[in-house]
Structure 1
Amino acid sequence: MTEENKMGTMPVGRLMMGMAWPAMLSMMIQALYNVIDSIFVAMIDEASLTAVTLVFPIQMLLVSVAVGTGVGVNSLIARRLGAKRFEEANKAASHGFRIAFINWAVFAILGLFLSKMYISAYSDSAYIVENGSLFLMITMVCSLFVFIQVNTEKVLQATGSMLLPMACSLTGAIINIVLDPFLILGFGGFPKLGVPGAAIATSIGQFIAMCMGLYLLFKKKHQVSVQVKGFKFEKDIIKAIYNVGFPAMLMQSIGSVMLFFINGLLAFSATAVAVLGSYFRLQSFIFMPVFGLNQGALPIMGYNYGARNKERLMKTYKFGILVALVIMFVGMVVFLTLPAQLLGLFSASEQMLEIGVPALRIICLCFLPAAFGILTSTIFQATGNGMLSMWQALIRQLIGIVPLAWLMLKIGGLTMVWWAWPMAEVLGLIYSVIFVKRLYKKEIEPLGRQYEE
């Protein structure tokens, strides 16, 4: 007799926080090492920070492909476990690893041959081009570690195991943080590698995290097993993964595309580009816990949707929104009251402070509507409606921000550009309210309530 999964029985609030806090902590550490990378790079000079900032959209795109695929695998596994279709859950996990290798091969080839061309399109500084392209090439060639690590974490999370993925991420992040001063600045007699040293430190951390994840997945007992030999691709499994995974991938990569355009708009000022890069690293401390909350909520929602348990599905959604709003409110207060201190972490010059202080105060107004949007995208994904998440992200991060930023720049100059973020989030909020109501009436309300709590 199969033991009942805790995602269908444990009280929602305790279950969700129990599953979410490891991911929240893990992603906070991820945000920390991204910031620490930039802090050490900024100690070299502002041009080095600009070089890393120009690579940031590609890093976001790479992670978007890894996480998007992982979300598709996670959602399919959770739904199949909820429906007691265990063999299909195993197949979903097995497909995820093969897809990860294919994705890595594409990025590695692009990194080897197109890195310098990409950086040169944004800067004519020989220093920025040389260091930025080397940083980008190392990141993309070593991206196999990211693709395997993320897929492993998503498989484990889909079974309700959140502590093991957290342990992997924490270990990789801590190693990265420890290596930064040695490889970037040359502490302890190590060679001073500068900007490329940041990429090497990150890749070493990711490699160790990947190895840990693989060991925990294959050596520990889980509800899902990965087929190593005799594997064959199945079109239906790939389609089911990317029905959710492809929109999730596009949804996350939209932010990367947005930064391509905004960096282009701000190309007249290297300082403004550095401010934008600093903001995105700082805001990750606020958004990453909410994304960790998302990771805790997704398998619970997916499981209970598969089990046709409307009550638990909606409780998870509502509780997640409440916690996300609290996190975002605290973050908004910090950005409103301490913008100069936050920018000071990156050795900000007077010019950078002049541009960055109003920028941070304006952009942070988007935090509260973003909380609702992120958790609403989770319920879209958990119910297999990934396209709704994709369109929401398009409105919030591309269709909204880029035209508005261009318009604000034309109307009022650099200071007005930053208003594009809160304005776009308001548009996303309107979309989310409309379509979550439609989803509820069409797919969630008809579900039978099978459990009384």
Structure 2
Amino acid sequence: MCKDNDNIDNGNDDDNNKNYSNDSLKANELDENINDNNNKNINKEVDDFNQTEGVSTILGDPKKAILKLSGPMIVAMLITSLYNLIDGVWVAGLGQNALAAIGFITPIFMVVIGFSNGLGAGATAVISRFIGEGDRDKANNAAMHIILLTIIFTIIIMVSLGLFLRPILEMLGAGVTVGLGLAYGNIVFGGSIFIVFTAAAYGILRAEGNVKKTTYAMSLGAILNIILDPIFIYTLGYGIAGAGIATVLSMAISSFIILYWFKKDTYIKLSLNLFNFSKDILKKILAVGLPAGAEFLIMAILAGSLNMILVSVSGSDAVAIYSSGWRVIMIAIVPVISVSISVVAIVGASFGARRYENFSIIQNYSIKIGTIISIITAVSTFILAPYIALLFTYSPETAMLNGPITDFLRVMALFYLFVPMGSTAASIFQGVGKGLDSFMLTAIRELLLVVVFAYILAIPLGMGQYGVWWGIVIGNIIGSLIALFWSKIYIKKVVAIKGGENEAL
């Protein structure tokens, strides 16, 4: 009997010991979880304390963020676009062949700029999401992956265009302007490291909401180019090659200043010590960067296709008219594009912070601002078209182009009104990492709609170069409406699914 009692007592002791051990384990696990959460909160508080003004902006009220980021971007991009216009004005003084040569280089240059801006878009989307998550280490690491891709892309550009620039120009129908195109293109593409780096760096700065430094760098590069253009083209007598030298030199100076900033006082830091190769980060960057770059490739294919249609119906003068007028269009839509560029970082930060309800606010507000700006721009361009055309027709060799350039600008006034819908939709998809959707929208609009309408109106319907212009307008209107509906469907879906997940959390 005693033995039985002893066994019972021992059994109870064992059970008590087991229960005590289990309780201890649970207590330890609870302590560890509390410590982990405390550490995360402490890290978050430290990171919040170290936030720059730009980071606080993109994580704050989306409407205020759009206004705050867009303003400086509009200034910077207007100055840059003004440089592109003035560059064309200076080259126009060399004659219509030089102007046409720039027009044939433009599609190739757009590919380089496009994939460079694609890297920038990938940087903005991925880094802003990491900032939204509160993970600064990953944000820095992503920035270093961007630099790695910059070096790789530069090598590809220099080798490929060094070998194939002439046959590409001949394929585009440059004809007698091939020599002038090579004189300009070899210099610009030879300095492509500065083109690629500045575009990628702007994307990194935008990701942290640092639009002031982006504005300073872009403005400095453009102003330097405006100053250096006449010096190298006319004073030093380099002609069209001088325009290329001015471009490379101004971008080189901007690049060194940006590198200094990254070493000194930005939220994102560039250092080999911060680099830890990650396939996941690389995939996320390329998921946005490659489609975004391919969008510009589509734009280059579009420009080349339109050039070939224009040459077939009206000769090389039609290319000069289109390329000159398009420079003005690029300036006119800068404010709208600036708003859209700002949207990428704000959407990315909202996505990282799981504030999916912000998406509709961001979309509606950016389209509203963009449409107001577009109406003002369209009316102004229509009225001032004859005077704007004089910028490209001041020399005796180009005087006969005044009337057609005026007509082109007036036809394009309708095009402005639908740009906000399409550009905002593309930025939303880039911000959430769905670069392929943005690419598909661009492909449908430019290759399927614009090229088809331009060809049908210009050749079968016999409208000549005017048919090409109206094809651009009609294709963009339909394409922008498709983009608007596509993005709204996506936003409703992501809010329903992701919002539900957040409530469950």
TM-score by length of 1: 0.93
| Corresponding position of 2:261 | 216
1:117 equivalenced with 2:167 (yes/no): yes
3-state secondary structure, aligned to 1:282? helix
Q: 2:355 aligns with which of 286, 309, 326?
A: 309
| Corresponding position of 2:116 | 66
Q: 1:134 aligns with which of 166, 183, 189?
A: 183
Q: CA deviation at 1:49?
A: 0.5
Q: Deviations over 1:76-101 (max 9, x none)?
A: 11111111233221221110001001
Q: Within 5 A, what are the aligned runs for 1:270-419?
A: 270-347=316-393, 349-410=398-459, 411-414=461-464, 415-419=466-470
Q: 1:173 & 1:357 partners in 2: Cα distance?
A: 26
- Whether the aligned pair in 2 keeps the contact of 1:310 and 1:447 (CA below 8 Å) is yes
Q: Deviations over 1:310-331 (max 9, x none)?
A: 3433322221111111222122
Q: Within 5 A, what are the aligned runs for 1:188-207?
A: 191-207=236-252
AA paired with 1:369? F
AA paired with 1:245? G
Long gaps (5+) in structure 2: 1-44
Q: Deviations over 1:331-354 (max 9, x none)?
A: 211232222222110126454234
Q: CA deviation at 1:22?
A: 1.5
Q: 1:439 aligns with which of 490, 495, 504?
A: 490
Q: 1:229 & 1:440 partners in 2: Cα distance?
A: 38
Q: CA deviation at 1:245?
A: 1.4
Q: Within 5 A, what are the aligned runs for 1:414-433?
A: 414=464, 415-433=466-484
- Whether the aligned pair in 1 keeps the contact of 2:104 and 2:174 (CA below 8 Å) is no
| Corresponding position of 1:81 | 131
Q: CA deviation at 1:200?
A: 0.6
Q: Within 5 A, what are the aligned runs for 1:6-45?
A: 6-7=56-57, 10-45=60-95
Q: Deviations over 1:118-161 (max 9, x none)?
A: 223345654x2211112111111101001111111211211111
How many aligned positions are there?
Answer: 444
| Corresponding position of 2:143 | 93
Q: 2:274 & 2:77 partners in 1: Cα distance?
A: 35
Q: 2:241 & 2:59 partners in 1: Cα distance?
A: 49
- Whether the aligned pair in 2 keeps the contact of 1:395 and 1:424 (CA below 8 Å) is no
AA paired with 1:204? L
Percent of residue pairs identical: 25
Alignment CA distance shift 1:124-1:372 (3 Å): closer
Q: 1:244 aligns with which of 249, 271, 288?
A: 288
Alignment CA distance shift 1:68-1:358 (3 Å): same
AA paired with 1:321? I
| Corresponding position of 1:254 | 298
3-state secondary structure, aligned to 1:204? helix
Q: Deviations over 1:270-321 (max 9, x none)?
A: 1100011012210111222222212222111110122121343332222111
Q: 1:252 & 1:122 partners in 2: Cα distance?
A: 17
Alignment CA distance shift 1:320-1:200 (3 Å): same
Of the structure 1 ranges 113-122 and 226-235, higher mean CA displacement relative to structure 2 is found in: 226-235
Q: 1:124 & 1:221 partners in 2: Cα distance?
A: 44
Q: CA deviation at 1:247?
A: 1.5
Of the structure 1 ranges 135-144 and 322-331, higher mean CA displacement relative to structure 2 is found in: 322-331
- Whether the aligned pair in 2 keeps the contact of 1:7 and 1:303 (CA below 8 Å) is no
- Whether the aligned pair in 2 keeps the contact of 1:134 and 1:196 (CA below 8 Å) is yes
Q: CA deviation at 1:13?
A: 2.8
Alignment CA distance shift 1:318-1:434 (3 Å): closer
3-state secondary structure, aligned to 2:272? coil
Of the structure 1 ranges 328-337 and 367-376, higher mean CA displacement relative to structure 2 is found in: 328-337
- Whether the aligned pair in 2 keeps the contact of 1:336 and 1:360 (CA below 8 Å) is yes
| Corresponding position of 1:103 | 153
Alignment CA distance shift 1:316-1:400 (3 Å): same
AA paired with 2:290? F
Long gaps (5+) in structure 1: none
Q: Deviations over 1:228-274 (max 9, x none)?
A: 25845432211111111111111222111101111111124111000
AA paired with 2:241? P
| Corresponding position of 1:183 | 232
Q: Aligned-residue CA RMSD in angstroms? A: 1.9
TM-score by length of 2: 0.84
Alignment CA distance shift 1:299-1:230 (3 Å): closer
AA paired with 1:49? L
